[in-house]
């Protein structure tokens, strides 16, 4: 074995009383894909911040190509050849692909930007990764998958030797994910060391060579993927075996609380009609771009061009704005929790109280006592892991951020809760906590709409599943009668022969 491309030894990082990293060790070889796995809060994000120069370790060493390095800032890390591609892409939408690839380091000819050279080099690196868009294309016109390609092109243009992929497939379609796997293999073939951070076990086994598990800030195990046992990985991640992921079915649903007829939009969806009952989980499944999220925004009064008839408890309802939907008892947990669900710079307490500020008002002033009481109840009820109610939401793990967003709405005592991809980007342990919370909601009589692109999730949680394709409602399945092949066939427009419904394996649940 040659000397590692990257070696970490005994990394420690503390944030006040929080010991985020506890002596982490890691080795990465050239041309290797290392799967870095662990529950939310295990220390993965802190480790990435150290490698990318955002924060510095309190103890320990970083060796790159055999030399001890310490990155004082992000530019130093990039200059050394370490680049991260995050789940939430950070780009300049109004600039071109070439400009985003060379942002902060434009090629120049004398005092002028050398546009021909920039476009030529951008075209070369885009061709390496199989991109099908031009360097002159505006980033705002690209899909999420294509944005990830631009970030990787930026990394390759900097001659990166270590590429960190942080949940890069969280919002990609199945075809885009398969294409992304090919890109990861291309990086490996080019001798790049890849650290692949994911909560999806199918991805670990599809692309990784080795695995490393973090738990509570410490590295607790590593090994080759060829000898990996999935259940053992889960046990290492959680410190316990996780066998039962989905809650037991609740009592049969009650009376109709929401009736939708002819919900349509000029370009996004057309003719959606459904009913939602008290104590029911109604699933919406479809491929990316099927119009599911856009339809949910219409229910919240956030899609101005949508048309349709709505009834809540038999009374006509027309959401002109989000406040109307909230007043009617509808809560909406959006897919993009960091962009739409919460304000990262706000504290946990301020995020939880954000949707119902009028409840804490005493005249023109907010009652800090009432706000604090609600926050305390929600932190306890949802078991949100935070050092303090005043900790910024940005300082929490992804799973705990999601709990804060859900807590914000539960604090309003809603009757209807819309959950759009509620487990996106969170680990198997945090998923179980969210599933249990959904089970508690329906047991208390709430009606839940669950939008999910994870087939096992929607099939095992929902009483009924509505399938959408290209903006239309194409099929509906009852829980007991749903077959995975038939659901996928309806979503993709293919035909599939019926097969007996088989239990979903743990790999599918975790994925």
What class, spelled out in words, does domain 6-238 have in CATH? Answer: alpha beta
Q: How far apart are CA 334 and CA 293, in angstroms?
A: 8
pLDDT at 499: 42
Q: And the tokens for 436?
A: 């249990």
What pLDDT does 242 receive? Answer: 53
Per-position DSSP letters for 335-367, written without gaps between them: S-IIIII--TTSBHHHHHHGGGGGGGEETTEE-
What region, left, alpha or beta, does residue 88 occupy, with left being phi > 0 and alpha being psi -120 to 50 degrees? beta
Tokens (6 digits) for 94: 């109004």
What per-residue confidence (pLDDT) applies to 67? 92
Give the number of other CB atoms < 10 A from CB of residue 209.
17
Output the DSSP codes for 412-476.
T--SEEEEESTTTT--HHHHHHHHHHHHHHHHTT-EEEEE-S-HHHHHHH-SEEEEEETTEEEEE
Burial of 278 (0-12, 13-18, 19+ CB in 10 A): middle
Rounded distance between C-alpha atoms, residue 224 and residue 226, angstroms: 5
**Distance in angstroms between the alpha carbons of the first and the last residue of the chain:** 32
Reduced to 3 states, what is the DSSP secondary structure of residue 273?
strand
Pair 330, 299: CB distance under 8 Å:
yes
Six token digits for residue 135:
């360097």
Judge contact between 3 and 14, C-beta under 8 A.
no
- Low pLDDT (below 50) residues in the chain: 244, 496-511
Helices (H) and strands (E) in the chain, counts: 17, 24
**pLDDT single digits (tens) 157-182:** 877 899 998 877 765 666 667 777 88
Please say whether the beta carbons of 349 and 371 come within 8 A.
yes
For the chain, what is the radius of gyration of the CA atoms?
A: 24
Token pair in block for residue 381: 């009820």
At 386 the three-state DSSP class reads coil
CB 92 within 8 A of CB 102: no
pLDDT digits 0-9 by tens, 326-366? 888 999 988 877 777 888 889 999 988 888 787 777 777 88
- Alpha-carbon span 318 to 311, nearest angstrom: 8
Strands 112-113 and 472-478: unpaired
Which pLDDT score is estimated for 501?
38
Give pairs for 354-363: CB < 8 Å, separation 24+.
354/408, 355/326, 355/331, 355/408, 355/409, 355/411, 355/412, 356/411, 356/412, 359/412
Residues 430 and 39 sit within 8 Å (Cβ to Cβ): yes
Report yes or no: 333 and 341 within 8 Å, Cβ to Cβ: yes
Per-domain boundaries in the chain: 6-238, 242-329+415-511, 344-413
Q: Half-sphere exposure of residue 343, counting CA atoms within 13 Å on the CB side?
A: 10
Tallying the residues shown for the chain, one arrives at 511
In a 10 Å sphere around its CB, with 0-12 CB exposed, 13-18 middle and 19+ buried, how is residue 212 labelled? buried
The answer as to CATH 3.10.20.30 being correct for domain 242-329+415-511 is no
Cβ proximity of 210 and 224 under 8 Å: yes
The string of DSSP codes covering 307-345 is EEEEEETTEEE--SSHHHHHHTTEEEE-S-IIIII--TT
| Domain 6-238 identical in fold to domain 242-329+415-511 | yes
CA distance 185 to 202: 15
Q: What pLDDT, on a 0 to 100 scale, did the predictor assign at position 498?
A: 42
414 vs 410: CA distance, rounded Å: 6
Alpha-carbon distance values, 76 to 25, 80, 221, 436 (Å): 22, 6, 30, 44
């Amino acid at each position: 074995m040659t000397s590692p491309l990257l070696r970490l030894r005994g990394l420690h990082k503390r944030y006040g009383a929080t010991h985020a990293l506890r002596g982490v060790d890691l080795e990465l070889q050239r041309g290797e894909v290392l799967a870095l796995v662990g529950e939310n809060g295990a220390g993965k994000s802190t480790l990435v911040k150290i490698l990318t120069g955002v924060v510095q370790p309190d103890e320990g060493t970083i060796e790159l190509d055999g030399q001890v390095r310490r990155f004082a800032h992000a530019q130093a890390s990039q200059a050394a050849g370490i680049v991260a591609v995050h789940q939430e892409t950070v780009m300049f939408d109004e600039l071109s692909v070439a400009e985003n690839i060379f942002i902060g380091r434009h090629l120049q000819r004398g005092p002028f930007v050398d546009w021909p050279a920039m476009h030529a080099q951008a075209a070369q690196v885009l061709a390496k990764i199989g991109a099908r868009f031009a360097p002159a294309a505006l980033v705002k016109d690209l899909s999420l998958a294509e944005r990830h390609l631009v970030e990787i092109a930026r990394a390759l243009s900097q001659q990166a030797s270590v590429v960190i992929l942080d949940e890069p497939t969280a919002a990609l379609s199945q075809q885009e994910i398969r294409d992304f796997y090919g890109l990861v293999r291309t990086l490996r073939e080019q001798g790049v060391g890849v650290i692949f951070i994911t909560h999806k076990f199918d991805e670990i086994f599809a692309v990784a060579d080795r695995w490393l598990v973090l738990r509570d800030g410490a590295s607790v195990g590593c090994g080759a993927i060829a000898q990996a046992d999935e259940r053992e990985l889960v046990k290492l991640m959680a410190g316990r075996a996780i066998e039962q992921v989905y809650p037991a079915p609740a009592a049969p649903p009650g009376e109709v609380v929401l009736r939708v007829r002819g919900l349509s939009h000029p370009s996004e969806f057309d003719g959606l009609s459904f009913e939602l009952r008290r104590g029911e989980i109604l699933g919406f499944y479809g491929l990316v771009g099927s119009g599911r999220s856009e339809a949910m925004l219409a229910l919240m009064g956030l899609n101005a061009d949508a048309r349709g008839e709505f009834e809540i408890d038999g009374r006509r309802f027309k959401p002109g704005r989000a406040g109307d939907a909230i007043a009617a008892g509808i809560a909406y947990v959006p897919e993009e929790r960091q962009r739409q669900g919460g304000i990262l710079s706000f504290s946990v307490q301020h995020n939880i109280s954000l949707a119902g500020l009028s409840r804490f008002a005493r005249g023109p002033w907010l009652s800090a006592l009432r706000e604090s009481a609600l926050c305390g109840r929600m932190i306890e009820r949802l078991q949100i892991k935070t050092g303090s109610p005043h900790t910024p939401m940005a300082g929490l793990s992804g799973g705990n951020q999601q709990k804060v967003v859900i807590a914000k709405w539960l604090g309003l005592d809603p009757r209807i809760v819309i959950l759009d991809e509620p487990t996106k980007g969170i680990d198997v342990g945090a998923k179980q906590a969210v599933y249990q919370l959904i089970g508690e909601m329906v047991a208390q009589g709430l009606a839940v709409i669950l939008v999910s692109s994870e087939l096992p999730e929607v099939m095992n949680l929902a009483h009924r599943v509505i399938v959408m394709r290209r903006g239309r409602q194409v099929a509906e399945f009852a829980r007991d009668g749903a077959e995975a092949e038939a659901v996928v066939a309806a979503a993709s427009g293919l035909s599939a022969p019926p097969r007996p419904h088989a239990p979903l394996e743990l790999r599918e649940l975790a994925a």
